[in-house]
Chains A and B, each alone.
Chain A
Amino acid sequence: MLFNSLHFALFLPLIFILYWFVFNRTVRIQNSLLLVSSYFFYACWDYRFLFLLIFSTLLDYFTALRMKETEKPHLRKFWFWLSVCINLGFLAIFKYYNFFSSSFAQALSLVGIKANFVTLSVILPVGISFYTFHGLSYVIDVYKKRIQPVSNFVDYSVFVSFFPLLVAGPIERATHLLPQIRAKRSFDYSTAMDGMRQILWGLFKKVVIADNCAEYANTIFAHSANFSGSTNLLGAIIFATQIYCDFSGYSDIALGTARLLGIELLRNFAFPYFSRDIAEFWRRWHISLSSWFRDYVYIPLGGSKVPKWKSVRNIFIIFLLSGFWHGANWTFLFWGALNALYFLPLLLLNRNRNNLEIVAQGKLLPSIKELFQMLTTFAITVLAWIFFRADNLTDAFHYLSRIFSRSLFSLPQGNAFIASFHPYVIFLLIGILIIVEWFGREYKYALADMGLVKNKTIRYLSYYLLAMTIFFVGGKGQHFIYFQF
């Protein structure tokens, strides 16, 4: 069940009505409804993997309780590592086994040893990386005694499998979400309206921008050898737009949906393409994953409060892990390493926390310097996305070499842009996106300030036009990119 499907358009109002009008007597009943609807939502993808999700939930729930019950450190450690190993074990089997076995076989073949490992033909359970990280954050927090384990299984299960975040995040923290799940929730008009607005904006980004960009990006990346450098460069820029709108659009819909149910999820995007350096970019892109790695890997390793060489090592570790989290492919590892390299100069010069405030805060336009910084950061990000998008490293390097060829200075080829819409239409829509996001950059999401418009007619007419654009200009339905992770 996709967020941009008719099924979800029927599912969400039904759950909303049941949640606030039928199952509203106690939190426990509301949570039971959330759990059943979340499992139903997940089973719509593949009911077989629902058992894996339930098993993972049970494992973390019981190991956390065992950790609380025992005072013996070695037993606490045992339950902790049991949970961590089984969780990561599932991830390793479903996501990484084939990658490791084929890479190992290739490595052995380099020294003349012929190895033939069994490969598993299993499909990746949707959302496994997300719910595994939910569970891990809980188990780690309980082990570190930051939180008390939850005794109510339903509450904990809702934390792991709450349907808005189940398949593509944001990756929640027990410390943030669990208290909300356990507390009584009451309907708040302005929060609900805000949620609807965020859903609308998320749909615009996903359906109108990302799905239409996908048509061009898919063509150009699939046949890059036939296109000029300028066309390939434009293809990479279009993909950068697509992945941002696809993922941040999904996150906006997830956050908006949760708000309708009275739950505030972690913010996942904060206008990352308006970043002035790569450190700022990573504070604004997929925030829930970056902060997860920061809190559970980078800081335990010493973070930046260690000798310089160790902070460099730590930065490489978290970027490589982040890359590897996305998928079992050398392209993701390279993408992670490249971002670590981008980050390195800032770290060495102690400038990685220079741009903490919002760019051009309180101003209409950025300064020339800020504009230059934003464009430079965007440019290096676009180059990194090529590795993220390519099927393998060879393809990625070929793509890059085509960009940096003499044909970079020619006009982009028209035959790369044969899709539903003329590219000018899409560029116009991207232009509108940039303007709206720029003027909304000081808020939680771009359209948040629309609620402040006093004139009701203008406000509702804008919503109506946005809804019509989503419906009539939406591209061919594409899966959310992050579902594959």
Chain B
Amino acid sequence: MKQFLIKITLFALAVGLSIFFVFSLADGYSDALYMRFATSQKQSLILGTSRAAQGLIPSEIAKIISPHKIMNEFYNYGFSITHSPWGPTYLASIKKKIRPATKDAIYILAVDPWTVSSTTKNPNDSSHFEELDHAVANVPAVNMNPNLFYLTNYYFDPYVFILWRKWIHPRGFINDDGWLEISIEMDSASVKEREDRLITNYTNNNLVRYHFSDLRFVYLEKTIDFLKTHGKVYLVRMPLHRRMFEIEQKLMPNFDSLINSLCVTKQVDYFNYVDELNTYKFTDGNHLYKTSAKKLSIDLAKRIANSAR
């Protein structure tokens, strides 16, 4: 028995250490979410869904707003529409990601009609919100590296990809500042194909499934209130393709006026980019291409800097 236990323990140790070693190599290439849960707590954040994750570059914004102060502390903590619409789950996760003693930080919240809508039968039924099944709701620590809980429960690819993707890079990569950089074919035919697929999906599926949620809107307010205790809050509506804008208008024609009123009440600035349809390039009509992300980030940073004066 003793011999068996020693051998099994040594074997389990060798296997366990190897696994831990590979887990510790997980990085921004491993998947599109992991690093959000494996970086330290931050002071300033960019928040929202995949539009924000791909479209706003914290390091670019930081260079203009405050080149010395928050360079390493400005992080893109945006996920996707299924993970991070405004609500109790995202707010709880944001609270975990912000360094408690933070003051005078900057928070950029990307808003659009989908982020205040829900797919549940009753749009205010928070017990069935879609994000509850995802990592944002269930990963207990968001600043642990390696994040064993995330890797064992929410890393859906075979683990060999943690190593593989270090050499053969995937299309998506999370930079050190949290920006999700996507490298993708941008020839007109590929872009058109992705646009068509996305528009069809949003028209046939999402437009039918999503309904405005008062509760999500309340949580947007609560998020703003919480963030204001740590610094200055800015709301931004990301630019998007005309066809996509038309769909959003069908979902919530009064979205902008609602946000404008909210901004007045909460005394925060709102930067609306939906009218600048032709200024930016999209990968699929919904997400900005990386060159446009840089352009938008610089522009937004300048506007923020101007508004602060």
> Which positions in A face B, CB cutoff 8 Å?
6, 20, 187, 189, 192-193, 196, 420-421, 460, 463-464, 467-468, 471-476
Contacts and interface: CB of A to CB of B under 8 A. Distances in A.
A376 to B, nearest CB: 35
Interface residues of B, number: 19
A472 B22 contact: yes
B14 A464 contact: yes
B167 interface: no
A6 B152 contact: yes
Interface of B: 1, 3-4, 7-8, 11, 14-15, 18-19, 22, 152, 156-161, 163
A472 B15 CA distance: 11
Given A6-B152, A196-B8, A463-B11, A472 B160 contact: yes
A464 B15 contact: yes
Nearest to B14: A464
A95 to B, nearest CB: 29
Contacts of A474: 158-159
B267 to A, nearest CB: 48
A472 B157 CA distance: 9
A193 B19 CA distance: 22
Given A464-B15, A468-B18, A473 B1 contact: no
A114 to B, nearest CB: 32
Contacts, number: 38
A392 B212 CA distance: 40
Nearest to A475: B158
4 closest A-B pairs (Cβ-Cβ)?
A: A472-B160, A472-B159, A467-B15, A187-B1
Contacts of A192: 4
B159 A471 contact: yes
A20 B158 contact: no
25 contacts: A6-B152, A189-B1, A189-B4, A192-B4, A193-B7, A420-B161, A421-B158, A460-B11, A464-B14, A464-B15, A467-B11, A467-B15, A468-B18, A471-B15, A471-B159, A472-B22, A472-B158, A472-B159, A472-B160, A472-B163, A473-B158, A474-B158, A474-B159, A475-B158, A476-B156
Nearest to B10: A460
B29 to A, nearest CB: 16
Contacts of B22: 472
B20 to A, nearest CB: 11
A471 B3 contact: no
A420 B18 contact: no
Contacts of B3: 189
Contacts of A463: 11
Given A420-B161, A467-B15, A474-B159, 13 more contacts: A20-B1, A189-B3, A193-B7, A196-B8, A420-B158, A460-B11, A463-B11, A464-B14, A468-B18, A472-B159, A472-B163, A473-B160, A474-B158
